[in-house]
């Protein structure tokens, strides 16, 4: 007798040995997805039917190629000497097929207890081929599927992987995707598995219907949801694709919104997604019940902790009787109380609000219960997820160590310091978990490292200077030790520069930073001639180095010291601007002639700074103040004192809107009788003062040629202008960073609107006349002598005033797929004669 169950039938292919393309055309057969039911075969000729009772004398295994006979028998309960009947043999067949190692199995009985197990092994997978995957990367599909080369082929695994691929496409919004698995038989009982994918169109949410809303419009409620209706202009977001998980999330978003508006009885009765008749998109319908709107009734706080006086903590309750009920306010109050009580050392303060609903008065009475909890201490600090950054780089930012009494403020400060490193995800949190004892707590931070290197290419256009390019490479976490390595090159029609810098933040394991920079800068100043041609006025070449050191004074105060030595050489084209071997102010300008020469600047400086920012790179709250002074003197030929002050304050004002108010100011004055060189003065304009060109604000000299009658020319095309800088400046700004919710985060957009106010002043005002061939080219207060054969020129100084310039604008940072963009459009509202404005600027870069 033969007992046989038929599994996956992989028939030999007549085209064996043909190229793969031929096999695909000639030999590819679809694999059924549903498993076949086992079929019992009829009796073989000459075999006897197993009697109702018998005993196994011997068992022989045939047909096995890779598996040993003992391995095959181990999957059954059959053994020589065992009594058997038809039911036992059927069970043996099922066990062998259940191992998923065999395509076909038969048990043959000669009627005398001699059994033969005839098997045909499942093939081995040679390759897994994925065809048709375009919208979902093949790498992501391979991460999902479980089958792999050199594994045993089974129908159940194929079926499971088909489901995984379809689920992957559903998560990306492609519910019309189809997957057809096929096999190609090869020699030596091997097969290639092919998943043929038809991706289909992306399933959109064509319409969102809301039924039952009376207090709020459909538009308002849709704005609270994560799901968006598909529209032609929504090409940069995936929130209009159908996602069942997002549908469930939208139900929670609706509930949160109504609970913040006082509707404590709100509920979503149903949320249904239906395919459109063309089976391409979905129509989503929410059925809601708003209920009545409640106000706060009696609000109280009770405490069971001895150190927490309920009377003192009631002042922290922001809600008052008669206010509209707000569930978000309840959550914020619990967080505020938890943080405040955490200052007393209670890490797991158990604060539970108790609600008593008065349906007649439509009031919600709330009592905050502060239940007794033990004072706790830090058991350990655990860091997970850092694959590049060393543990000690993160640990040294913690303000708590093992054995310290728990303090929630220090935990929050530790989070802010780790966040300010800029090495990890935006919303980093330090979790508090039970320690090894009831009075112990473990602080755990799970970090997700992000790129800390950057390659930035900035580009801008100025009507004065044309194309401006900058290239910089920086790694802020070099070798995973928070070391900063930087290299930069800039080029434009007026300047070229190269610099290299390195900073070690913890020298020798101590909280002492040490850094060094070397640089070379070439600056070509120019102006436009009578015919609009570009005329270079002077060239400044600067070479030097700087050594920096910084250290903390307190938790929020820090200081830094620096020394730099620079060598400047200011020159002009002698063929154009020299007369009789000397710089001619008629041709070059008085300020240029005064600045010519070689100078050595030995500069000593310090900075004293205070910072309570929650994030040094993208702050949302806190403030920063810095005052710095640099003195040029011993060891150099230049002597001056330069002072700068900077201040910024950030507030998270409302629903993610961040307000920044900031300002800066500076002053420089000479320590000897000489005037401040042109190259050492302050200059103001883009990018710090948006809406103005580079060096577009402040004192500017306009040189007008004298006519035959001794009066200056009134034709602007004959004038020459130069920015001459100033000794004093100030710049203030008010900027609001606008949140775009999940859509903005998904696209990497961070828009802002701003107002900039500032000024630059204190040069050498006056009106001076220069004549040719006058000894020492001394300026004279009246017209040139009439016997001169060459006309002179008259200088007019413009824009030398402290009065404010004002600009307004909008800008956006965009982390695009090909790098971060910054675009600004700013309009100068208030400017003075001589100022030069600029409407549009942008830059682009990438990170690694």
- From edge to edge, which strands make up the β-sheet containing 363-371? 295-303, 363-371, 350-358
Per-residue confidence band for 536, with pLDDT thresholds at 50, 70 and 90: low
Question: CA angle, corner 487, sides to 486 and 492, nearest 5?
Answer: 135
Q: Check pLDDT > 70 for residue 820.
A: no
Return the H-helix or E-strand segment holding 813: strand 805-816
Q: For residues 249 and 782, which has the higher predicted lDDT (pLDDT)?
A: 249
- Predicted pLDDT of residue 291: 92
pLDDT of residue 492: 72
Look-up: residue for tokens 């009696």? 298
Sheet-wide strand order for 440-446:
377-384, 440-446, 430-434
Q: Tell me the mean pLDDT in the region 538-553.
A: 90
Q: In this structure, what token pair is assigned to residue 575?
A: 């063929």
Does 527 have pLDDT greater than 80?
A: no
Q: Which of these, 223, 190, 191, lies nearest to 208 by C-alpha position?
A: 223
Would you state the pLDDT for residue 192? Answer: 93
**What is the C-alpha to C-alpha distance for residues 591 and 724, in angstroms, rounded to an integer?**
8
- For residues 633 and 639, the answer to whether their CB atoms sit within 8 Å is yes
Burial of 736 (0-12, 13-18, 19+ CB in 10 A): middle
Distance CA 101, CA 214 (A): 63
> What Cα–Cα distance (Å) separates residue 764 from each residue in 602, 675, 732, 767, 769?
26, 10, 25, 10, 14
Q: Quick one: which of 91, 88, 81, 86 has its CA closest to 113?
A: 81
Return phi, psi of residue 391, to 5°: -55, -40
Which residue did the predictor score with more confidence, 605 or 704? 605
Task: Report yes or no: 367 and 353 within 8 Å, Cβ to Cβ.
Answer: yes
For the cut 70, the answer to whether the pLDDT of residue 346 exceeds it is yes
Q: Say what the pLDDT of residue 586 is.
A: 67
Residues 321-349: what's their mean pLDDT? 84
At residue 765, the pLDDT reads 52
Strand partners, 810: 753, 825
* Confidence at residue 629, expressed as pLDDT on a 0 to 100 scale: 96
pLDDT tens across 15-44, in order? Answer: 333 333 332 332 333 333 322 333 333 333
Q: What mean pLDDT is predicted for residues 463-484?
A: 78
Which has more pLDDT, 544 or 231? Answer: 544
pLDDT at 347 over 80: no
* Chain centroid to CA 591: 47
Look at the pTM and tell me if it is higher than 0.85. Answer: no
Query: Which residue, among 314, 212, 217, has the nearest Cα to 270 in the 3D structure?
Result: 212
Report which of residues 631 and 308 the model is more confident about. 631
- Residue 764: per-residue pLDDT: 59
Cis omega (within 30 of 0) for bond into 632 = no
Distance, CA of 762 to chain centre = 43
* CB contact set of 145 (below 8 Å; sequence gap of 6+): 128, 161, 164, 165, 195
Which 8-state DSSP code applies to residue 654?
E
> Can you say how many angstroms the Cα of residue 428 is from the centroid of all Cα atoms in its chain?
13
Banded pLDDT at 640 (limits 50, 70, 90): very high
pLDDT at 816: 62
Least confident residue range of 111-125, 524-538, 745-759:
524-538
Sorting pLDDT into bands at 50, 70 and 90, what band is 459?
A: low
For residue 1, pLDDT over 50 is answered with no
Which of 64-73, 526-535, 783-792 comes out lowest in average pLDDT? Answer: 783-792
**Helix 327-342 to helix 408-420 angle, to the nearest 10 degrees?**
100
Rounded CA-CA distance 138/620 in Å is 39
Three-state DSSP class for residue 684: strand
- CA–CA distance, 674 with 638 (Å, rounded to integer): 9
| Model pLDDT, residue 566 | 92
Residue 72 tokens read as 């095959």
The pLDDT of residue 685 is above 60: yes
Place of tokens 């100025």: 462
Average pLDDT in the chain: 81
Q: Using the predicted structure, report yes or no on whether residue 71 has a pLDDT greater than 60.
A: yes
């Amino acid at each position: 007798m033969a007992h046989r169950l038929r599994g996956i039938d992989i028939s030999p292919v007549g085209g064996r040995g043909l190229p793969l393309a031929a096999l695909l055309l000639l030999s590819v057969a679809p694999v059924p997805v549903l498993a076949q039911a086992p079929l019992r075969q009829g009796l073989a000729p000459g075999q006897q039917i197993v009697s109702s009772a018998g005993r196994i004398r011997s068992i022989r295994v045939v047909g096995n190629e890779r598996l040993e006979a003992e391995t095959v028998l181990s999957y059954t309960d059959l053994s020589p000497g065992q009594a058997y009947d038809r039911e036992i043999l059927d069970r043996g067949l099922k066990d062998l097929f259940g191992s998923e190692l065999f395509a076909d199995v038969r048990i043959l009985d000669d009627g005398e207890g001699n059994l033969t197990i005839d098997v045909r092994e499942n093939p081995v997978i040679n390759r897994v081929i994925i065809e048709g995957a375009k919208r979902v990367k093949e790498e992501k599909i391979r991460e999902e599927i479980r089958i792999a080369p050199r594994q045993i082929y089974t129908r159940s695994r194929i079926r499971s992987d088909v489901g995984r691929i379809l689920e992957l496409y559903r998560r990306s919004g492609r519910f019309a995707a189809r997957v057809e698995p096929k096999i190609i038989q090869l020699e030596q009982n091997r097969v290639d598995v092919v998943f043929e994918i038809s991706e289909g169109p992306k399933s959109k949410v064509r319409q969102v219907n809301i039924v039952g809303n009376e207090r709020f419009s459909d538009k308002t409620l849709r704005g609270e949801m994560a799901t968006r209706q598909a529209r032609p202009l929504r090409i940069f977001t995936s929130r209009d694709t159908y996602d069942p998980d997002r549908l469930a999330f939208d139900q929670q978003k609706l509930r949160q919104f109504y609970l913040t508006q006082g509707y404590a009885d709100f509920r979503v009765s149903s949320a249904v997604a239906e395919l459109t008749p063309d089976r391409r998109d979905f129509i989503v319908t929410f059925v809601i019940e708003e209920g009545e709107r409640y106000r706060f009734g009696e609000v109280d706080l009770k405490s069971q902790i001895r150190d927490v006086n309920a009377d003192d903590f009631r002042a922290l309750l922001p809600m008052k009787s008669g206010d509209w009920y707000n569930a978000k306010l309840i959550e914020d109050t619990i967080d505020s109380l938890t943080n405040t009580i955490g200052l007393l050392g209670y890490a797991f303060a158990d604060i539970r609000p108790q609600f008593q609903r008065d349906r007649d008065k439509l009031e919600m009475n709330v009592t905050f219960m502060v239940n007794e909890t033990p004072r706790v201490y830090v058991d350990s600090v655990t860091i997970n997820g850092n694959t590049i950054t060393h543990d000690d780089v993160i640990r040294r930012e913690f303000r708590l160590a093992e054995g310290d009494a728990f303090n929630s403020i220090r935990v929050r400060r530790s989070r802010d310091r780790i966040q300010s490193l800029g090495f990890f995800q935006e919303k980093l949190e330090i979790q508090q978990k039970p320690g090894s004892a009831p009075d112990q707590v473990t602080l755990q931070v799970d970090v997700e490292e992000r790129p800390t290197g950057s390659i930035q290419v900035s580009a801008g256009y100025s009507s004065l200077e044309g194309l401006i390019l900058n290239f910089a490479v920086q790694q802020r976490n070099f070798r995973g030790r928070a070391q900063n390595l930087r290299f930069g090159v800039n080029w434009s029609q007026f300047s070229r520069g190269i610099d290299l810098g390195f900073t070690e933040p913890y020298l020798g394991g101590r909280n002492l930073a040490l850094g060094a920079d070397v640089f070379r800068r070439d600056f070509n100043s120019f102006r436009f001639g009578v015919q609009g041609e570009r005329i270079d006025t002077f060239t400044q070449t600067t070479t030097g180095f700087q050594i920096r050191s910084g250290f903390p004074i307190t938790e929020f105060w820090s200081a830094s010291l620096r020394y730099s030595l620079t060598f400047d050489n200011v020159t002009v084209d002698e063929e154009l601007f020299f007369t009789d071997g000397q710089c001619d102010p008629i041709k070059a300008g008085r300020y240029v002639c005064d600045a010519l020469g070689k100078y050595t600047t030995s500069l000593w400086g310090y900075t004293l700074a205070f910072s309570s920012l929650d994030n040094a790179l993208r702050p949302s709250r806190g403030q920063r103040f810095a005052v710095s002074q640099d003195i040029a003197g011993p060891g150099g030929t230049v002597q001056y004192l330069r002072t700068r002050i900077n201040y910024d304050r950030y507030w998270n004002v409302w629903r993610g809107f961040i307000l920044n108010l900031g300002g800066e100011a500076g002053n420089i004055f000479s320590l000897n009788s000489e005037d401040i060189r042109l190259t050492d003065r302050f200059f103001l304009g883009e990018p710090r003062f948006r809406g103005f060109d580079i060096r577009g604000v402040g004192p500017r000299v306009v040189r007008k040629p004298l006519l035959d009658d001794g009066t200056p020319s009134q034709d602007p095309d004959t004038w020459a202008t130069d920015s001459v800088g100033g000794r004093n400046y100030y710049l203030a700004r008010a900027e609001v960073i606008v949140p775009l919710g999940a859509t903005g985060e998904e696209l990497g957009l961070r828009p802002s609107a701003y107002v900039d106010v500032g000024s630059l002043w204190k040069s050498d005002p006056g009106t001076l006349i220069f004549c040719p061939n006058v000894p020492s080219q001394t300026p004279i207060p009246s017209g040139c002598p009439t016997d001169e054969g060459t006309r002179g020129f008259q200088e007019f100084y413009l824009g030398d005033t402290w009065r404010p310039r004002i600009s307004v604008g909008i800008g956006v940072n965009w982390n695009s797929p090909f790098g971060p963009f910054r675009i600004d459009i700013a309009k100068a509202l208030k400017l003075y004669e001589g100022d030069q404005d600029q409407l549009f600027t942008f830059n682009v870069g990438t990170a690694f």
